[in-house]
């Protein structure tokens, strides 16, 4: 059986971080994922998908994201039921997140927060001095040249990536010496 979900979207609100009775962190949040097509009025609609994340990843996710953050999550769909206060059975479908990626740089995140009127530390982001994450800026990303249309930036990034390539040799030759016997096919 296969039950895998990959979503890319924006958080609709800050992550709600709580703790269970035995101290496990659990974060709940909703991701807005735009549809690939427009409706009859020419507007894009979005699906709002409930997600839950557990333990240390939940704490990290809550500390480094906020409302409007572009994130990618990977996990599985889970359904559960419970009885509410009125005695009615409630059915819940949610994504249990196993892995996540922050899809915007720190500068983009801070710019978005300042535009929303919540500049500075919003209370759920860790100060940079306490951060264990090293989120690279755009200039140091060796793969940025694939997505950047600016030729000067692309040439700078290709120079950076070639100097830090694991295939470079001390002789300065960038080619690999591979014979036909080395290939698996």
CA 126 vs CA 35, 136, 153: distances in Å: 32, 17, 31
Looking at residue 176, its pLDDT comes to 55
More confident residue, 117 or 1: 1
Looking at residue 145, its pLDDT comes to 42
Looking at residue 152, its pLDDT comes to 42
Which residue, among 18, 92, 90, 3, has the nearest Cα to 49 in the 3D structure? 92
pLDDT tens digits, residue range 37-83? 888 998 989 999 999 999 999 999 998 888 889 999 999 999 999 99
**Residue 116 and residue 68 in contact, taking contact as beta carbons nearer than 8 Å:** yes
Looking at residue 49, its pLDDT comes to 94
Confidence of residue 156 (pLDDT cuts 50, 70, 90): very low
The CA distance from 65 to 73, in Å, is 12
Give domain limits for the chain.
5-134, 137-165
pTM of the predicted protein model: 0.59
pLDDT tens digits, residue range 168-185? 555 555 555 666 666 665
SS3 33: strand
Which of 8-12, 31-35, 41-45 bottoms out in mean pLDDT, i.e. has the lowest? 41-45
Question: How many Cα neighbours within 13 Å face the side chain of 9?
Answer: 22
The CA distance from 90 to 93, in Å, is 10
**Residue 72 and residue 100 in contact, taking contact as beta carbons nearer than 8 Å:** yes
With 70 as the cut, is the pLDDT of residue 142 above it? no
Looking at residue 175, its pLDDT comes to 55
Q: Which fold has domain 5-134?
A: OB fold (Dihydrolipoamide Acetyltransferase, E2P) (2.40.50)
């Amino acid at each position: 059986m296969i039950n895998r979900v990959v979503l890319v979207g924006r958080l609709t609100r800050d992550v709600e971080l709580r703790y269970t009775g035995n101290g496990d962190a659990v974060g709940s949040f909703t991701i807005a994922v735009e549809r690939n097509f427009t409706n009859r009025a020419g507007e894009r609609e979005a699906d709002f998908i409930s997600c839950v994340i557990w333990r240390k990843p939940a704490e990290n996710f809550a500390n480094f994201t906020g409302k409007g953050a572009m994130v990618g999550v990977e996990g599985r769909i889970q359904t559960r039921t419970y009885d509410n206060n009125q005695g009615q059975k409630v059915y819940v479908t949610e994504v249990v997140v196993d892995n996540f990626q922050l899809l915007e740089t720190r500068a983009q995140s801070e710019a978005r927060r300042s535009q929303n009127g919540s500049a500075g530390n919003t209370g759920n982001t860790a100060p940079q001095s306490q951060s264990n994450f090293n989120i690279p800026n755009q200039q140091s990303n060796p793969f940025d040249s694939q997505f950047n249309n600016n030729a000067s930036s692309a040439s700078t990034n290709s120079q950076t990536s070639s100097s830090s390539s694991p295939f470079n040799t001390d002789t300065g030759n960038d080619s690999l010496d591979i014979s036909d016997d080395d290939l698996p096919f």
